[in-house]
């Protein structure tokens, strides 16, 4: 698949690796930075998604999404994202992704709203889950990107430069590789946060405290490859 991720906000919190380990697929362990695991709450706009080398899918390929993710490394050293939930505003996408890949997609009412000019602006992300996983669970995030460009930041690189995902489907552990350019990152100020999604993903209490990292990116285009079976089951 190919797609563009646009207007992406990365909110991250430190978490104890022991708390994260039971939430990961078989054959993976927490990927750590500075002695901590990290949980991310990531809202963005999916733009122009398409299959293989074909064209982008009209309407269906563009939608809002919010995911809750962890970071893991497998026994061969492949580092990747582990999605605990992915809320999306297209029901057909949710049904297809759950059936084909076993990813924990949920259907949600969502909105991404940008207010201001090209230099000084805020972005609001609202998510209200419909199905499955607890109707009424919600998230509201408001950020203001700063003009400061992030360069040579090992933590920012660790949290965003991920070249695949780990998942468990039909009794098998899988790794799905992807390719994208390096994220153009900016610092951002978190203006508002209310969130139920991280707690619903198995990490209660995390979003009650300030995030340890707040980043923003205008976006990148990415291509996902075919799923690869792990050597273990």
Share of the chain above pLDDT 90, in %: 70
Q: Which domain holds residue 52?
A: 2-229
Predicted pLDDT of residue 225 = 65
Predicted pLDDT of residue 63 = 92
**What is the tens place of the pLDDT at every residue in 144-184?**
999 989 999 999 999 999 989 999 888 888 898 988 888 99
Predicted pLDDT of residue 74 = 94
Say yes or no to pLDDT of 108 above 70.
yes
- Banded model confidence at residue 60, pLDDT cuts 50, 70, 90: low
E strand segments, the chain: 2-15, 28-30, 37-50, 63-74, 79-88, 105-116, 121-131, 138-149, 164-169, 172-180, 185-195, 213-224, 228-229
CATH code of the domain covering residue 59? 2.40.400.10
Say yes or no to pLDDT of 133 above 80.
no
| Residue pair 111/125 in contact by the 8 Å Cβ criterion | yes
Say yes or no to pLDDT of 118 above 50.
yes
Both structure tokens of 209: 């405290």
If you average pLDDT over residues 31-57, what whole number do you get? 82
Model confidence, pTM: 0.92
Closest residue by Cα to residue 145 from 215, 192, 211, 219? 215
Say yes or no to pLDDT of 224 above 90.
no
Phi-psi bin for 53: left (phi > 0), alpha (psi -120 to 50), beta?
Answer: alpha
Q: Give the count of domains, the chain.
A: 1
Which residue has tokens 């978190």? 190
């Amino acid at each position: 698949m190919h797609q563009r991720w646009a207007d992406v906000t990365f909110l991250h919190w430190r978490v104890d690796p022991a708390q994260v380990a039971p939430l990961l697929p078989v054959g993976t362990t927490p990927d750590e930075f500075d002695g901590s695991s990290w949980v991310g709450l990531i809202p963005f706009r999916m733009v122009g998604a398409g299959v293989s080398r074909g064209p982008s899918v009209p309407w269906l390929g563009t939608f809002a999404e919010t995911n809750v993710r962890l970071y893991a490394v497998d026994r061969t050293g492949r580092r990747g994202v582990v999605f605990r939930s992915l809320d999306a505003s297209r029901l057909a996408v949710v049904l297809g992704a759950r059936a084909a890949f076993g990813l924990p997609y949920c259907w949600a009412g969502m909105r991404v709203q940008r207010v201001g000019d090209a230099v000084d602006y805020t972005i609001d992300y609202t998510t209200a889950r419909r199905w499955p996983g607890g109707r009424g669970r919600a998230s509201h995030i408001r950020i203001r990107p700063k003009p400061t460009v992030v360069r040579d930041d090992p933590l920012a690189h660790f949290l965003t430069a991920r070249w695949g995902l780990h998942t468990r489907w039909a009794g098998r552990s899988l790794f799905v590789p992807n390719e994208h350019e390096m994220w153009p990152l900016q610092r951002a100020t978190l203006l508002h946060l209310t969130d139920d999604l991280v707690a619903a993903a198995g990490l209660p209490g995390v979003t009650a405290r300030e995030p340890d990292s707040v980043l923003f990116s205008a976006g990148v285009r990415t291509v996902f490859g075919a799923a690869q079976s792990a050597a273990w089951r």
